[in-house]
Amino acid sequence: MLPQEIIKAKRDGKTLTREQIAYFVQGITNGKVTNEQIGAFAMAVYFNGMAMPERVALTEEMMNSGRVVSWDGFDLPGPIVDKHSTGGVSDSVSLMLGPMVAACGGYVPMIAGRGLGHTGGTLDKFESIPGYNIQPSQEDFQRIVKEIGVAIIGQTAEIAPADKRFYSIRDVTATVDSIPLITASILSKKLSAGLESLAMDVKTGNGAFMTSLDDSRALANSIVAVANGAGVKTSATITDMNQALGDTAGNATEMREAIEYLTGVRRNPRLHEVTMTLCGQMLLLSGIARTKDEAEFKLNQVLDNGKAAEVFGKMVHALGGPADFLENWQGYLPKAPVVMPVYADTPGYISEVATRELGLVVVTLGGGRSNPSDAIDHAVGLTDIQQIGTYVDSERPLAFIHARDEVSAAAAAVELKASIALSENLPKLDPVVYETISPEQAQI
């Protein structure tokens, strides 16, 4: 078997066998397939696509290119379940969701990512907590999941190494936006955590990776079909990213919002709807709840009685953070020296948000990265972001900028105002949750 023959077969529109895909992925991992061959293969898939059995095979082979977590022998008394989002602006859902589901009896071994470009990263938000260790040993990771019910950590070099090399080449060959390859990239990493079920959050809109609803739906369908084909019960929910999801954007700022959410101080309605929907899917997929009403009841119960917040605090401490973080978070999270309100030039209703550009305001302030190696400022960001349909004037600002100095705050204010359009009339609002594709709708 030769790599060039596999590339030729896909170039000519043929369906690859499991053996061909396994051989090629092994070559990506051990270096016997060259960068040029990987790029050619990616381009062949980009133009000719992959049938569902090919997508399942590619996902499983990439997953098995590295360590796959085994929970055998741990005797977990509940199901192993997780969630993944395709990314956006002000998406702090994972911060609350993991502890909420764990408080309901699930076990959530969440391997999260960093932010890149305009999107925020769950790991960056947790690193705003002093001492929080995103790279514990495998033994500590599994022990914490068993003892507390959830651990949110970063990907190690041992997880899906084929994907790491494959993605770096896709990134420089204009083949990132191939649905079969996106599907395999997401799932090979996520399923390596040894999951039994998975709830996917596929964003759609101008701040999402997939900007059109049709493309988001195609990706959601692909993920549901492939994950279920790989033996992991999975649903995908399509949610709106035509504006910021919550009140804040940044790292410490979003951590603050998550704490206020868990402790009942403030729950942004859009953020709450998406969080409850995805948590509900996790409970239904894993069998913790039998109906949506039962799932909602259980989730509200752990929010109201403080159990979800308690689990969050225990997880933070188990991963190296302060034991009293939940009670004294204001003394631990970094604060920006400059906090400045930004007002619209003229009053009106917020009618449209260029969400990608809004996310880049945080990057400009130093709270995001355009290169994976960039250092970030955890203190900077945005708070009190007003949503579409809100009337703003000289009394109600568009948002508050948290900056390192006055100069960067002023520059960010210009970008912020440019990303928001106003109108005289109340605009039509997009749904927050568009639809959910269930495992039963998967077509292998």
Domains for the chain: give ranges and CATH numbers: 3-63 (1.20.970.10), 81-328 (3.40.1030.10), 335-423 (3.90.1170.30)
CA-to-CA dists, residue 315 to 31, 166, 278, angstroms: 38, 33, 20
Q: How confident is the model at residue 115 (pLDDT cuts 50, 70, 90)?
A: confident
Annotated catalytic residue within 10, 170, 270, 356: 170
Annotated catalytic residue within 185, 216, 235, 408: 185
Lowest mean pLDDT, pick from 239-243, 365-369, 412-416, 435-439: 365-369
Which helix (DSSP H) or strand (DSSP E) does residue 228 occupy?
helix 213-229
- Residue 172: what pLDDT? 87
- Residue 252: what pLDDT? 97
Annotated catalytic residue within 10, 84, 203, 378: 84
The three-state secondary structure class of 295 is helix
Pairwise pLDDT comparison (172 vs 277), residue with the higher score: 277
Tell me, yes or no, if 185 is annotated catalytic.
yes
Pairwise pLDDT comparison (167 vs 435), residue with the higher score: 435
Annotated catalytic residue within 55, 83, 125, 270: 83
Tell me, yes or no, if 384 is annotated catalytic.
no
Tell me, yes or no, if 122 is annotated catalytic.
yes
Q: How confident is the model at residue 155 (pLDDT cuts 50, 70, 90)?
A: confident
Q: Is the pLDDT confidence value at 372 over 80?
A: no
Quote the CA–CA distance of 435 and 330 in Å, as a whole number. Answer: 37
Quote the CA–CA distance of 331 and 322 in Å, as a whole number. Answer: 11
Tell me, yes or no, if 94 is annotated catalytic.
no
Annotated catalytic residue within 10, 190, 233, 256: 190
Annotated catalytic residue within 29, 59, 65, 85: 85
Annotated catalytic residue within 122, 204, 235, 275: 122
Quote the CA–CA distance of 303 and 1 in Å, as a whole number. Answer: 56
How many percent of the chain have pLDDT more than 70?
99
Which helix (DSSP H) or strand (DSSP E) does residue 75 occupy?
none
Annotated catalytic residue within 10, 189, 267, 270: 189
Tell me, yes or no, if 364 is annotated catalytic.
no
Tell me, yes or no, if 290 is annotated catalytic.
no
Give the gyration radius of the chain's Cα atoms.
22
CB 346 within 8 A of CB 157: no
Tokens of 171: 């990134």
Tell me, yes or no, if 170 is annotated catalytic.
yes
Tell me, yes or no, if 83 is annotated catalytic.
yes
Q: In sequence order, which ranges of 340-393 are alpha helices (DSSP H)? A: 355-365
Q: How confident is the model at residue 339 (pLDDT cuts 50, 70, 90)?
A: very high
Lowest mean pLDDT, pick from 170-179, 245-254, 413-422: 170-179
Tell me, yes or no, if 417 is annotated catalytic.
no
State the residue for tokens 């993991």: 98
Tokens of 285: 């997929």
Q: How confident is the model at residue 444 (pLDDT cuts 50, 70, 90)?
A: low
Annotated catalytic residue within 10, 59, 65, 82: 82
Average pLDDT along the chain: 95
